[in-house]
Amino acid sequence: MRKIVVVDYPKDWDVAIEDVEVVDVQTYLTDTAYTDIKHARIFNLCRSYKYQSAGYYVSLLAEARGHKPIPSVATMQDLKSPTIVRAITVELNDLIHKTLGSLRSKSFTLSIYFGQNVAQKYEKLCKQLHDLFQAPLLRAQFVYKDEWVLQSISAIPINDVPEHHWRYLVRFAKSYFARHRFSGAKIGRNKIYDLAILVDPNESEPPSNKKALQHFVEAGESMGFYVEMITKDDYRRLPEFDALFIRETTSVNHHTYKFARKAYADGLVVIDDPISILRCTNKVYLAELLTKAKVPIPKTMIIHKDNRDLVEQELGIPCVLKKPDSSFSQGVVKAKDSEGLQRELDEMLVDSELIIGQEFTPTDFDWRIGIMDKQPLYACKYFMAKGHWQIYNWSGKKNDTEGDHETVPFEDVPFAVLHTAIKAANLIGNGLYGVDIKEIDGKAYVIEVNDNPSIDAGCEDQILKKELYTSILKSIKKRIDDNKNVRTDEY
């Protein structure tokens, strides 16, 4: 992806930075050589962003051309509204007080150059404000009225930067563009798309282990992606990317869903998308959906306070109870007797009006069929943890918390298993899913459909090897291309 700095006059930015082009505003707005560029990120350093100014049109036309402008027109509009500024920055109140608490003056001006300030003690506040209002140069005005308040934040015209700040500005710019290294020497040139992979470095059982994540990075870079691992702290940076790939355990009441929803709203390709997360993470929804579509599932009952006394009669003992948002065997319990059943129901129905009950169907292993774009991707057998009835035994000994696994070629997967998995996944959408199936007497029963399924190096990739990672990223790339083509047709 080309990186282009647009200025009113070439003298405004006489700084040479590797892989960064500098062009004057008139050329960018009128020269067809820039109109026809397909993949570009535009860093708008024009002196004014006023409505219908040249700087305003740079970002407006950049968006129309499918380029990615910083700042966007939406950011320009946000900066003009004190109400929006206060609403957006209310979450920073504590940080503002902590950072400025020692100042004795009644007002304070903070200059933010590419997310940084000449004084390191303001670094965190600068970063947070820059993430909220993504513009290269910002000026934040604070006033003290019983407490420190952000009065306004505005763009700094490039010609308004003090001369003694320029050496800092240049250093910060080089650091900034290195971070946004879409085509740098380190990862190869001609990167056309930007992919964010959302991870939690502290998650004990993430959907992909470190080696798998590295395979995703390598596959992406070989296909022309700039790939960056992001965390929940990077929420405001989503507009920098073309696609979001979530590799953190998802939940609706969680930042993973918030990320998916924002990325989807901003027009990014998202795996998995917020609709898939909503559907897959609720077992009540899945039970209703699969039953209506006549997809085989174990005998299932949606339990609530008015029918809880019928559970034993309907499902027998032992039976399995599931919280609606359970995952990785957590929130799933086996009621072994009548007393235990009532105790578990008491606990679960406190948190949710509805829960799932299923007949107990023990097997030595569960099938997991990975599916993307409505086509099978991989097939695995997940064996039960030692001495346990589930794949995971979180109360077991350290080496016995998880059962063995076996990756199986498609020709060795029973037709009923493969056919049923595809049918179930296709009810959800065309994202990346893992369908868990129990095979009993030659029949396949869907246990659940998972968004964001596990893809670990050494497990799901045993047959396809690195092609598994490439296949997933090829799908993401095709989706981005399709989005770009639609956008081009609209203009």
Residue 429 in contact with residue 306, Cβ under 8 Å?
no
The tally of CA atoms less than 13 A away on the side-chain side of residue 89 is 30
Lowest-pLDDT choice from 34-38, 425-429, 456-460: 34-38
Query: pLDDT band at residue 358, thresholds of 50, 70 and 90?
Result: very high
So what's the pLDDT on residue 212? Answer: 97
So what's the pLDDT on residue 299? Answer: 93
Q: Which residues lie below 8 Å from residue 145, measured CB to CB, with a gap of 6+?
A: none
- What separation in angstroms does the CA of 382 have from each of 197, 407, 424? 26, 9, 19
Q: With H, G, I as helix, E, B as strand and everything else as coil, classify residue 157.
A: coil
Q: Is the torsion defined by CA of 445, 447, 452, 458 positive or negative?
A: negative
Distance CA(231)–CA(246), nearest Å, equals 10
**pLDDT digit string, tens, across residues 19-31:** 899 999 999 998 8
Q: With H, G, I as helix, E, B as strand and everything else as coil, classify residue 235.
A: helix
Residue 374 in contact with residue 425, Cβ under 8 Å?
yes
Is the pLDDT confidence value at 488 over 50? Answer: no
Is the pLDDT confidence value at 199 over 70? Answer: yes
Is the pLDDT confidence value at 138 over 50? Answer: yes
Distance CA(361)–CA(334), nearest Å, equals 11
Give the mean pLDDT of 366-384: 95
Q: With H, G, I as helix, E, B as strand and everything else as coil, classify residue 373.
A: coil
**pLDDT digit string, tens, across residues 28-49:** 998 889 988 878 889 999 999 9
- End-to-end C-alpha distance for the chain, whole angstroms: 21
Q: Which CATH class is domain 193-272+474-486?
A: alpha beta
So what's the pLDDT on residue 182? Answer: 40
Distance CA(2)–CA(20), nearest Å, equals 8
Give the mean pLDDT of 354-370: 92
Q: Which residues lie below 8 Å from residue 489, measured CB to CB, with a gap of 6+?
A: none
Lowest-pLDDT choice from 59-63, 203-207, 249-253, 395-399: 395-399
Give the mean pLDDT of 320-337: 79
**pLDDT digit string, tens, across residues 277-289:** 988 988 888 888 9
Run of H or E including 286: helix 283-292
Q: What one-character-per-residue DSSP string does 401-428 give? A: SB--EEE--GGGS-HHHHHHHHHHHHHH
Question: Which two three-digit tokens encode residue 100?
Answer: 């400025």
Distance CA(69)–CA(46), nearest Å, equals 12
Higher pLDDT, 321 or 402: 321
So what's the pLDDT on residue 82? Answer: 81
Q: With H, G, I as helix, E, B as strand and everything else as coil, classify residue 21.
A: strand
Query: Domain extents for the chain?
Result: 2-179, 193-272+474-486
Q: What does the buried/exposed string (b/e) look like for 466-483 if buried means 16 or more CB atoms within 10 Å of the residue's CB? A: eebbbbbbebbbebbeeb
Give the mean pLDDT of 2-24: 93
Quote the pTM value: 0.68
Higher pLDDT, 169 or 91: 169
% the chain with pLDDT above 90:
64
Give the mean pLDDT of 415-420: 97
Percent helix, strand, coil in the chain (nearest 5)?
A: 40, 25, 35
Q: With H, G, I as helix, E, B as strand and everything else as coil, classify residue 223.
A: coil
Mean pLDDT over the full length of the chain: 89
So what's the pLDDT on residue 328? Answer: 54
* CA angle at 398 for the pair 394 and 399, rounded to the nearest 5°: 110
Which residue from 15, 8, 10, 12 is spatially nearest to 57, judged by alpha carbons? 8
